Structure 1
Amino acid sequence: MKKLFLFCAFLVGLWLAVFTFKVFNMGGEYQSIIVNFKDDIAITQLEEGLNKITLKVNQTPTLNSEFSTDKQIYILEGDKETLRKLRRSKLREKIEYIEPNYIYHTLEIPNDPDYGKQWNLRAINVERAWADSKGEGITVAVIDTGVSRVPDLEQTEFVEGYDFVNDRTEALDDVGHGTHVAGTIAQSTNNNYGVAGIAYQAKIMPLKVLGYNGGTVADIAEAIRFAADNGADVINMSLGGGGDSHLMRDAIDYAHKKGVVIIAAAGNENENSASYPARYAKVISVSALDAIGEKAPYSNFGAGIDISAPGGSDKGLIIQETITGSNQQPSFEGYQGTSMASPHVAGVAALIKATGIKDPDEVREILVQSSREIAEDPFNHYGAGQLDAGAAVQLALKGKITVKDFLRWLRDSGYLNPGFWIDGGTIMLLPKLGMVIGSYLLAWFIRNYLVFNFNLASGLVFGSSGLFVLQGLYIFDLPQWPMRLFGSSLPELGNVVMGTNSLNPIFASVLIPFILIVLFLGHQSLKWLAIGSCLGVASCLGISAFYDPHVWGLGSGIVAQGFLLVNALLCFGLAYLASKNDQVLTN
């Protein structure tokens, strides 16, 4: 375990070392650069100075806009090389700041043409949730009037259900209620048709227990057990009545023990109590909100309410595709009721479960803790608060890092761009691979709170990169040597102090880490500062061996490269020996 920990620490140090070479080249996408000059510099002087730098690459600086005249903000077409030239030019002392003119993009928005009418999905912050979860692999049982495969459910995956009213396998809807509810949960999305659903990659299990005249407790209880026995992860019941039932309670207990999250509508009587089955302790009871976030006029409240979600009202209805009329034709209809609020919570529960949360009580706790609390709610209109899908998924993922996280991070960081891997040729391939792996491990440590103790982390930074961002700072009239000093790694300190590389063989070797280990080995805390420095120096020397293998007196060829690699291995071995038979402390 200790070897694995030290190796992970080394890779993170490797990431820091490579990042010092790439720091000004990474980040977001940009094709131009923002240059903000000090206000007391004449514009003609600035343009002349800029042209001296940029004429070589046929670039002409232009004012950002007519509103930037007083601020002297220029936009310059260019890439990372142009940015580097500007930061090192003589104009630097006349500039307040230089930064990439990043290109921003909108968040993911479905291409369903009527998504703009779904105020309810934006009200629960669903777009933020979709960045991490869409309900993939989760089955939601819709215990209702059945579900019909209307066009906007054609791409939604269904699993086998049952019609308990007519005792048959095919659980078609003949009322329209269940199809509308299923649409809120998992309407086919990004299909250039209709509207969207919350957990649109989840599967629907249609269970028909209601007809035009309602349904019995016996059928509903049997449907709950069927769902639990056939792989349902979430049950939605947009139904209710006034009576307690031992049969129903036993079925709910049975499903809960099998890990099923059970959600039900609170009722539409505007009474001071949730109806059954929402009233049961192991069921998440949902009251309804209108389009402005207030309790819908019809919604039950008070005793038994756990959370609130959009249910619609005359101020705005919940639109999904369902069936209507005697010929049961597909149609986009606006409904209102706690029946419409409940599937919002069921959809978010599916998003949470898709992150890997299994325990239904943990799902409930996530829904409760992530909800937007209402400060004054004396009559318990809202329960724990208003449903927030984005916050719920973020809370569910807290302490986790998924493959999807990693792939998205690779994309956003530019590592999926072939140019990143080609730039520098094969000589930089291994260091860049170390940077990618080290970044992933760093993210994993942070997300799981397994961060190194302060002394180890400080030593790792000091040895591998220093506070490298300081090298890019310029503060008017202040000396720059402190920035260079604190912004340098331990192997670079000799160059910074002496102004030459004459001390390079001493600082770029195992000697300084060895001295630190000898001095601090007997100290329980500072020992880890020395170990971190060893790992950091090992990382820096390993990168330098490939990127810039220049050592004073040894040249920059294979001899210098061998010197750096041997010392990198010695530093790593020294760190391992110093950490043997001890435990890593965490803060």
Structure 2
Amino acid sequence: MVQKLLLSFLLLVLLVACSNETIKVSFSQTDCQKNWSLCSLFPNSKSISIPNNPVKVAILDSGIDNTHPFLKKSIVKSFDATQKINITKDKLGHGTAIAGIIGASSNKQTIQGISPNVDIYDVKVLNDKGGGEIKNVVNGIKWSVKQDVDILNLSFGFQKNDPTLKQAIDYAVDNNIIVIAAAGNTLGFSTDYPAKYKNVISISSVNKHLKRDKFAAKGKIDFVAPGVDIPVLTPTKKVNTVSGTSFSAAYASGIIANILARNPNIQNYNDVLAELKASSKDLGEKGLDNEYGNGLIQFE
């Protein structure tokens, strides 16, 4: 009797363990019509198994609405680098939109988080109008490094290089943090900083026809991701449709979070870059180019 009970218990543990190995995310053709990015990022299946190994993603932005029902369970910590307090408010809505793309829980509004099991670190570095100062971004990066995050998502940029920003980015990369940044909406001109740095993964934007958005930057582009007519969450709990490389960067962060969850041994920029190149879809000129980089980032 004891042996049967023990065997039953072990079987139950095994079943629970197996069920926790992945999160199943399913979406229909109707879902893809409402949010075209889903089918482009997950090309081989409409039912995706996402590894259930929480990856720590710091979202440096305008703050995140931590009361949103699709996000509140994922937000682990908050830090307002502009005021140096441990609480944020997102009056702009940009940070909430980015967080939804990366990690929203499954919902009927088709704002499916690309990696819904992530641990989100909410770092406010932008003001309520979307502007930002380098010193606040630097403070946000340093705070994120102390939290031992795996990924930094920077869905904004600056036109000019700044040595203190470069030092902070290098500090993060030296601590094996993967840094993803938006290439910028520069009307086809040069990539913004920090996306322009060699050790940052620069993400530009494509539309549903997989053509570069005319507003997106050219130059130092590593990959592209969906960034035109994207449905996103808002602090008002409604859904907005937006465009820009900011949102492309968020998709890339979600895909990279899945890669890290699936391959815990991958811990540095070069390894992640190699994984992304192996699974990306080449667009534009054959091979690396200054509009599409290595192509459309995907998760297979």
Which interval holds the TM-score relative to the shorter structure? 0.7 to 0.9
Per the alignment, residue 220 of structure 1 pairs with 137
Offset of 1:135 from its aligned partner? 5.8
Show CA shifts across 1:441-463 (max 9, x none).
Answer: xxxxxxxxxxxxxxxxxxxxxxx
Q: Which residue of 2 aligns with 1:245?
A: 162
Match of 1:200 in 2: 116
Which residue number corresponds to residue 104 of structure 2? 187
Distance in 2 (CA, whole Å) between partners of 1:347 and 1:223 is: 20
State the partner residue of 1:319: 231
- Contact in 1 for aligned 2:284/2:292 (Cα 8 Å): no
2:85 counterpart of 1:176: no
Distance 1:120 1:135, change over 3 A: farther
Q: What per-residue deviation string (whole Å, max 9, x for no partner) do you get for residues 183-206 of structure 1?
A: 1000111x4555211001111111
Aligned AA for 1:197? G
Shift of 1:241: 1.1
| Map of 2:54 onto structure 1 | 137
Partner SS state of residue 241, structure 2: strand
Q: Find out whether 1:166 has 2:83 as its counterpart.
A: yes
| 2:153/2:250 contact within 8 Å kept | yes
Decide whether aligned partners of structure 1 residues 126 and 150 sit closer, same or farther in structure 2, where only a CA change above 3 A counts. farther
The amino acid across from 1:344 in the alignment is Y
Cα pair distance change 1:110/1:155, threshold 3 Å: farther
Over 3 Å counting, the alpha-carbon distance change for 1:385 and 1:193 in structure 2 is closer
Distance 1:135 1:215, change over 3 A: farther
SS in 1 for 2:296: coil
1:132 CA drift (Å): 4.1
Match status 1:359 vs 2:268: yes
Say whether 1:209 aligns with 2:125. yes
Q: Which residue of 2 aligns with 1:68?
A: none
Q: Distance in 1 between matches of 2:43 and 2:169?
A: 28
1:346 partner amino acid: S
1:215 partner amino acid: G
Change (3 A) 1:297 1:230: same
- For the pair 1:347 / 2:246, whether they are aligned, the reply is no
1:117 Cα deviation after fit:
1.0
- CA distance in 1 between counterparts of 2:203 and 2:52 reads 20
Structure 2 residue aligned with 1:281, among 181, 191, 198?
198
Structure 1 counterpart of 2:177: 260
Q: Gaps spanning 5+ residues in structure 2: where?
A: 1-23
* CA distance in 2: counterparts of 1:224 and 1:183, whole angstroms: 21
CA displacement, residues 16-35 of structure 1 (integer Å, 9 cap, x when unaligned):
xxxxxxxxxxxxxxxxxxxx
The residue matched to 2:275 in structure 1 has which SS? helix
Name the structure with the higher helix share. 1
Is the strand fraction higher in 1 or 2? 2
Residue 50 of structure 2 contacts residue 258 of structure 2 at CA under 8 Å; is this kept in 1?
A: yes
- The question of 1:383 aligning with 2:293 is answered yes
Give the C-alpha shift of residue 164 in structure 1: 1.2
Q: Structure 1, residues 481-524: CA drift from partner, whole Å, max 9, x if none?
A: xxxxxxxxxxxxxxxxxxxxxxxxxxxxxxxxxxxxxxxxxxxx
Determine if contact 1:194/1:321 at 8 Å carries over to the other structure. no
Q: Match for 1:340: what amino acid?
A: F
Per-residue deviation at 1:129?
Answer: 9.5
Quick one: which amino acid aligns to residue 200 of structure 1? Answer: P
Cα shift at 1:126: 6.5
* Counterpart residue number, 1:502: none
TM-score (norm 2): 0.84
- Equivalent residue for 2:10? none
Q: What CA RMSD, in Å, does the superposition of the two structures yield over aligned residues? A: 2.3
In structure 1, the gaps of 5 or more residues are: 1-106, 324-328, 391-587
Determine the C-alpha separation between the residues in 1 that align with 2:250 and 2:42: 15
Distance 2:233 2:130 in 1: 22
Aligned to 1:320, the other structure's residue is in SS state strand
Alignment of 1:290 onto 2:200 = no
- Could you tell me how far apart the structure 1 residues matched to 2:299 and 2:225 are? 10
Alignment of 1:46-61 (within 5 A): none
Distance 1:135 1:309, change over 3 A: farther
1:333 alignment partner in structure 2: 240
The answer as to whether partners of 1:309 and 1:345 remain within 8 angstroms in 2 is yes
Q: CA deviation at 1:246?
A: 1.2
Deviations 1:92-141 (A, max 9, x none): xxxxxxxxxxxxxxx95148x96651111211116749744246310111
Contact in 1 for aligned 2:62/2:130 (Cα 8 Å)? no
1:309 to 225, 232, 238: 225
> In structure 2, what is the Cα distance between the partners aligned to 1:129 and 1:274?
33
| Distance across 2 between alignment mates of 1:319 and 1:152 | 17
Distance 1:155 1:167 in 2: 21
Cα 1:251–1:213 shift into 2, 3 Å: same
Aligned residue type for 1:319: P
Q: What secondary structure, in the 3-state scheme, does the structure 2 residue paired with 1:153 have?
A: coil
* 8 Å Cα contact 1:289/1:308 also seen in 2: yes
Question: Percent identity between the aligned chains?
Answer: 29
Report the CA distance between 1:372 and its aligned residue: 0.8
Q: Which secondary structure does the structure 2 equivalent of 1:297 belong to?
A: coil
Using a 3 Å threshold, how does the CA distance of structure 1 residues 108 and 183 change in structure 2: closer, same or farther? closer
Asked if the contact 1:150–1:322 (Cα under 8 Å) also holds between the matched residues in 2, the reply is: no
Alpha-carbon distance in structure 1 between the residues aligned to 2:73 and 2:209 = 30
TM-score (norm 1): 0.44
Contact 1:295 1:382 in 2 (8 A): yes
Looking at structure 1, the residues matched to 155 and 108 of structure 2 have their Cα atoms a distance apart, in angstroms, of 28
CA distance in 1: counterparts of 2:26 and 2:39, whole angstroms:
10
Displacement of 1:269: 1.2
Alignment correspondent of 2:216: 299
State whether structure 2 residue 35 is matched by structure 1 residue 118: yes
Residue identity opposite 1:181 in structure 2: I
Which of 260, 282, 286 matches 1:373? Answer: 282
Q: In the alignment, is residue 157 of structure 1 matched against residue 74 of structure 2?
A: yes
Q: CA deviation at 1:272?
A: 3.6
CA distance in 2, matches of 1:124, 1:114: 13
Question: How is 1:509-524 mapped onto 2 (pairs within 5 angstroms)?
Answer: none
Bigger RCO of structures 1 and 2 (CA < 8 A, at least 6 apart): 2
